[in-house]
Amino acid sequence: MTLVELQSLAKRLGMPGFAAKQIASWLYDKKVTSIDEMTNLSLKHRELLMQNYEVGAEAPVDEMRSVDGTVKYLYPVGGNHFVESVYIPDDERATLCVSSQVGCKMNCKFCMTGKQGYTANLTAQQIINQIHSLPERDKLTNVVMMGMGEPLDNLDEVLKALDILTASYGYAWSPKRITVSTVGLRKGLQRFIEESDCHLAVSLHSPVPPQRAELMPAEKAFSMTEMVELLKNYDFSKQRRLSFEYIVFKGLNDSQIYARELLKLLRGLDCRINLIRFHAIPGVNLEGADMDTMTRFRDYLTSHGLFTTIRSSRGEDIFAACGMLSTAKQEKRLPAISVIRLPILTRPEKIGYGLPVRLMATGATTSIIRGVFKTSLPALTFIHSVSVMVRDLTNMQEQADYGMEK
């Protein structure tokens, strides 16, 4: 819950107004595991809270660990539905890729999540829970919303989660530690820029409108040229960064002609390009360009004044492709880790598709008593597929000016 929601809760239960900040402190700062620990609340009010709420978190039910330290976690979100997050450590930095939806409506040709179709929006609690139930939570330096789903298609809940992460009553993170990635939606882009100070990453992948529309159907609703014109109205020359993601496909968008078109399209914008290697996913007839081609592409853009990097891949020996582990979980019924879940300050409710919603404690991190994970995951096809999600994380860590704000 945000502070406003906690204030409403306190009022509804007849608690004093200042109780909301006290609860927020216990949940987001002290990270208690039970309401009984909220000792500056009266016994009466603690008992009242316990009648309606609980403190807890939804632990991951599966994980896959790479030899390079990358870990993919699978979180249940009701029914037989799951979302993924990916933890990527890199020297003194550690980034978590967070999901915002179950499935996705965007149906990008190169994305495994889009093949699942759309099931539901995550609540702010379910978004935050991926951070708070992360075993490595205390090591995190950055969060990127580049997992399953389109964040701007679930903007209300995403903004609520960002508020909890960045507000003084919540986790008090600098917005500069958080990046939101989007295909670019007309209804959400301007609102996100104006209501959040977090970094913005836009999935571009082609400077040619018909080709981009084939790769990304969202182009038909809000063209990249319209999007660029909108972005030119905002200042990205200071600490807030604007980047464009560009998967380099062999024989499709990898020639100097496309590099020149990128320069034309982005002229006048203070931004950078992140080149991403593509790794095959099932049923998609696309192939990634080789490193020599990507290097020439990068060097051409850089030599013409557009800062460009090539992202390194991580987690290639696990189900790194965005949506692959959750798809496998649903289709193959992969064995789950044995866990003991501790409650979150929540009140189960129902939303449209019938899944329970936790109203609170997106901030309540709890200790999770985990069983020793000894299950053997079945061999599955495409285990070497690497997703935009994992690739999109790594280079953010590698860029010096993408540093963590203390």
The rounded radius of gyration (Å) of the Cα atoms in the chain is 21
pLDDT in tens, the chain (406 residues): 899 999 999 999 999 999 999 999 998 888 887 899 999 999 999 999 999 887 767 889 999 999 999 999 999 998 889 999 999 999 889 999 999 999 999 999 999 999 889 999 999 989 998 998 999 999 999 999 999 999 999 999 999 999 999 999 999 999 999 999 999 999 899 999 999 999 999 999 999 999 999 999 999 999 999 999 999 999 998 889 999 999 999 999 999 999 999 999 999 999 999 999 997 888 899 999 999 999 999 999 999 999 999 987 777 776 545 555 555 555 555 444 333 233 334 444 433 333 332 333 333 222 222 222 223 332 222 222 223 344 444 444 444 333 334 3
Please state whether beta strands 118-121 and 142-145 pair in parallel, antiparallel, or not at all (unpaired). Answer: unpaired
CB 56 within 8 A of CB 133: no
CB 79 within 8 A of CB 67: no
Tokens for 300, please give them: 């051409």
pLDDT at 125 (0 to 100): 87
Nearest one of 250, 249, 276, 264 to 301, comparing CA atoms: 264
| DSSP character string of 299-368 | HHHHHTT--EEEPPP--TTS--STTHHHHHHHHH-PPPPPEE--EEEE--EE-TTS-EE--S-TT-----
For 288, what's the count of Cα atoms within 13 Å in the CB-facing half-sphere? 19
pLDDT at 33 (0 to 100): 73
Say which residues have a Cβ less than 8 Å from residue 151's Cβ, sequence separation at least 6: 100, 145, 158, 180, 181, 182, 192
Please identify which residue in the block is written with the tokens 């951070």: 131
3-state SS, 47-61, equals HHHHHHCEEECCCCC
CB 399 within 8 A of CB 201: no
**Residue ranges of E strands in 57-194:** 62-65, 71-76, 82-90, 93-97, 101-103, 118-121, 142-145, 178-182
Rounded to the nearest angstrom, the gap between the alpha carbon of residue 46 and the centroid of all alpha carbons in its chain is 34
- Domains of the chain: residue spans and CATH: 3-56+340-367 (1.10.150), 62-328+377-402 (3.20.20.70)
State whether residue 182 is helix, strand or coil: strand
- Report, as residue numbers or ranges, the catalytic residues: 84, 322
CB 146 within 8 A of CB 201: yes
